[in-house]
Structure 1
Amino acid sequence: MLAASITSQADLTGLYTSTGVLGLIWYVLVAIALWKVFSKAGWPGILAIIPIVNLFILVKIAGYSAWLGLLFLIPIVNIVFHIIVAFRVGRGFDKGGVFSFFLLFLIPWIGYFIIGFGRAQYTKPV
């Protein structure tokens, strides 16, 4: 009985390790993409590394007050607000609604790479 529980714990540890490594790789890629986006928008790129701060900077890039970033803490409101921020960031980089919805809301790591390393120029949304 004891051997089975040790084996089960080892299996979980292996799962956490591979998930942790993949999560770290994903986070580094997102930070690189956001670094370039922040630099294009006139913000220090180093802020992309800090987990909660990067959301507040995205809200600022979208043209809103950073205080509105607190809306990300409210369960249903955060989804709606994330869509709004994605559309406003897309508009700031002269991207359309389809690009904003699919590549900045649904799969943002690809969208931010396209904006950050592409030719898009930032103009503050009005």
Structure 2
Amino acid sequence: MLFFSLLILSSMWVVFNKAGRSGVISIIPIYNMYILLEISGKPGWWLILMLIPGVGFVFHLLAMLGLAEKFGRGSLYGLGLFFLPMFFFPMLGFGESQYQG
């Protein structure tokens, strides 16, 4: 479990760098989700909605779909970011995808 957490964290660091943000932000809890929403092209106030059980599920999914779109990936990739982040974040971060936001 720790391995996957570190893998996702290091991948988010690279994703933030690709989007022109400091990778250090990826290790700051809650603020990293706020910046991830901005990178995804979603409003920052969605973070509040993401903290509500049930509602947060939907808004987190929409944020991951937006993130995939901003990196030139499709909806299926966004679903992968949501359901299997331990595989899809490293592919996004360390792969050839470029931020198109």
Unaligned runs of 5+ in 2: none
Bigger-Rg structure (1/2): 1
- The Cα offsets for residues 14-33 of structure 1, whole Å up to 9 and x where unpaired, read as xxxxxxxx43x332221101
Moved more, 72-81 or 48-57: 48-57
Structure 2 counterpart of 1:77, from 51, 55, 61: 55
- The Cα offsets for residues 11-62 of structure 1, whole Å up to 9 and x where unpaired, read as xxxxxxxxxxx43x33222110100000001111001111212111111111
Match of 1:121? 98
Structure 1 counterpart of 2:85, from 108, 114, 118: 108
Number of matched pairs: 101
- Root-mean-square deviation (CA, aligned residues, Å) is 1.2
Contact in 1 for aligned 2:40/2:63 (Cα 8 Å): yes
Aligned pairs for 1:4-83 (under 5 A) are 22-23=1-2, 25-83=3-61
Greater RCO between the two (CA within 8 Å, min separation 6)?
2
Unaligned runs of 5+ in 1: 1-21
Match of 1:94? 72
TM-score (norm 2): 0.92
